[in-house]
A and B are shown apart, each in its own frame.
Chain A
Amino acid sequence: MNSFTLTQAAAADEAVRDFAGHAGAAYLGGGTNLIDLMKENVARPTHLTSLGHLPLGDISSLPEGGLRLGALATNADTAWHPEVEKRYPLLSQTILAGATPQLRNMATDGGNLLQRTRCYYFSDLATPCNKREPGSGCAALHGQNRVCGVLGTSESCIATHPSDMCVALAALEAVVRVQGPDGERSIKFEDFHRLPGNTPQFDNTLKAGELVTAIDLPAQGYASNFTYLKLRDRSSYAFALVSVAVGLEMEGNTIKKARFALGGVAHKPWRDPAAEQLLEGQPASPDLFRQVAAKVFASAKGYEFNSFKIELGKRAIVRALKQATEMSQPLDSNAFLNSNP
């Protein structure tokens, strides 16, 4: 771990100024990913702007019927917030499927968006990795790539985004609010994370010094028909091999509106609007779900140890859509505990 100085900022603009005033600065939220990477020497900031005292921990209703998650609300407080449980049970379930109670008590919603990949090579300085050291190469391409992506990959990087929460936020079409040296702006969730291309060192579209201040959820929370299906190597405390977050508006057996996103398969939470459109206006049926799944993975490319994700991903989509359409009543927030596939 590098040596660093630390400032506790009291407000967002103060934090942005503090960050700008220190070369090699990083924002410190819950620390669950940053401190980990600092110990591995993957992140070597020389200054931390600590956000713990910023008044950004609230979860509040928005005038148009949505909900605002303060960037510093913890994952645990978000998942178990009464409004989230009631109106966005998909988000609640998805957060609870990730990490552990301890980590969820520390990790912030803003920080969740900024998690770095869990590709083995990224965190091991002995190996080449274009995301860590641009131009050094990608050892995962021909290495241990079981956890890597199959959609939207490039020759430079096949890493995945590790978040569960972001998969639900993608399906919910959240909006990320940020503040930076040039003021505030909003970023549509689908535009927040990016594909690796030949610049995999950039996970997202934040500009230098920009700070996530809130995540806005639109009014539609799909509280009646939703599911988060996560497939992993153990029942808990593991990153997704493949995950699917689904939110549906149903009328009888007909799907009026469909949003879904995948985790564990790409450099960002993966959405396929064309595939969503295939569902809309159609009666729910296994054939339709298989057709949709095939469409999502039509462009997929597998590598030596992760090709299984293509078939697994298709099956996961079919199962998740089936579960979401067959829901007759909302699950309580603990339902996920008994529904591990």
Chain B
Amino acid sequence: MSSPFIQAPLGPPAPALAPAQAVTLHINGEDRTIQLAPWTSLLDALREYLDLTGTKKGCDHGQCGACTVLVDGKRINSCLALATVYQGKQITTIEGIGGEDNLSPLQQAFIDHDAFQCGYCTPGQICSAQGLINEGRAKTADEVRELMSGNLCRCGAYTNILSAVMEVLHDGQVVVDNGTLVTIPMQPTKAI
């Protein structure tokens, strides 16, 4: 049995392509002006037009959190943001949080706790954790787990991500089950 199937666009195409226009984005403390059409996402603007490839594309649909950046201190999914409407906002990417030679406390904690493996979700996790700290809502481990749940990690580094975020959130201390703050040893694994 055979039947026809036509793969074609839903509805008419655009009458003409929308032209690129100058777009100025305030990123990591700097104004960057690029020529963009309205269809460019903030994520693609960063990665493809500004060579800020630290922000990752994991799904391009707001389903994984790898593209998390901070806008005016709040974490968002840059894949669902059109770059042009983010003009005038303070955008912070992983490159603005810290470079290889000047790591932020969160970045250092991620290394110390081995809070990543392949590293692809990591910039998003760190930007998200910074956003969580800025929000000031999460305190306990359960709260951090929930409020870090917008960032998938397929390598499964979640327990170490939790430790890293808790350490920075509580300045080297963590909340244990009875609600008190205690200092924990950095690396629970014994050397052999």
Contact = CB atoms under 8 A, between A and B. Distances in A.
Does chain A touch chain B in the assembled complex, meaning CB atoms less than 8 Å apart?
yes
B142 interface: yes
Contact of A36 (B62, B71, B74, B140): B62
Contacts of B25: none
Contact of A31 (B65, B75, B80, B152): B80
B135 A101 contact: yes
A2 B68 CA distance: 24
Contact of B76 (A102, A237, A338): A102
Interface in A7-66: 8, 24, 28, 30-32, 35-36, 39-42, 44, 46, 48, 50, 52
- Tell me the dominant secondary structure on chain A's binding face: loop
Contacts of A5: 18, 38
Contact of A334 (B14, B79, B84, B137): B137
Interface string B76-109: 1101111011000000000000000000000000
A45 B75 CA distance: 27
A32 B80 contact: yes
A15 B135 CA distance: 32
A339 to B, nearest CB: 10
Contacts of A8: 85
A100 B149 contact: yes
A3 B14 contact: yes
Interface in A111-127: 125-126
Which of B38, B60, B143 has the most CB atoms of chain A within a 10 A radius of its CB? B38
A312 interface: no
A236 interface: yes
B38 A102 contact: no
A337 interface: yes
A1 B79 CA distance: 13
Residue among A42, A80, A236 having the largest count of chain B Cβ atoms under 10 Å: A236
A4 B143 contact: no
Interface size class of A (residues with CB under 8 A): 35 or more
A157 B7 CA distance: 23
A85 to B, nearest CB: 11
Contacts of B16: 3
A41 B135 contact: no
* Size bracket, chain B contacts: 35 or more
Contact of B77 (A48, A103, A236): A103
B179 interface: no
B80 A36 contact: yes
A28 B85 contact: yes
B147 interface: yes
A100 B81 contact: no
A177 interface: no
Nearest to B75: A102
A198 interface: no
A123 B85 CA distance: 25
B65 A46 contact: no
B9 A103 contact: no
A104 to B, nearest CB: 9
A72 to B, nearest CB: 12
Contact of A41 (B9, B84, B151): B9
B39 interface: yes
Given A4-B14, A6-B84, A44-B11, A76 B150 contact: no
A106 interface: yes
Contacts of B131: 101-102, 105
Interface string B139-183: 010110111011110000000000000000000000000000000
Nearest to A1: B39
Contact of A50 (B7, B85, B140): B85
B32 interface: no
Given A52-B85, A101-B131, A103-B150, A44 B10 contact: yes
A76 B150 CA distance: 13
Nearest to A334: B143
A68 interface: no
Given A42-B10, A235-B149, A337-B146, A101 B80 contact: no
Given A76-B74, A101-B131, A102-B65, 8 more contacts: A4-B39, A24-B12, A39-B60, A44-B9, A100-B149, A103-B62, A103-B150, A106-B76
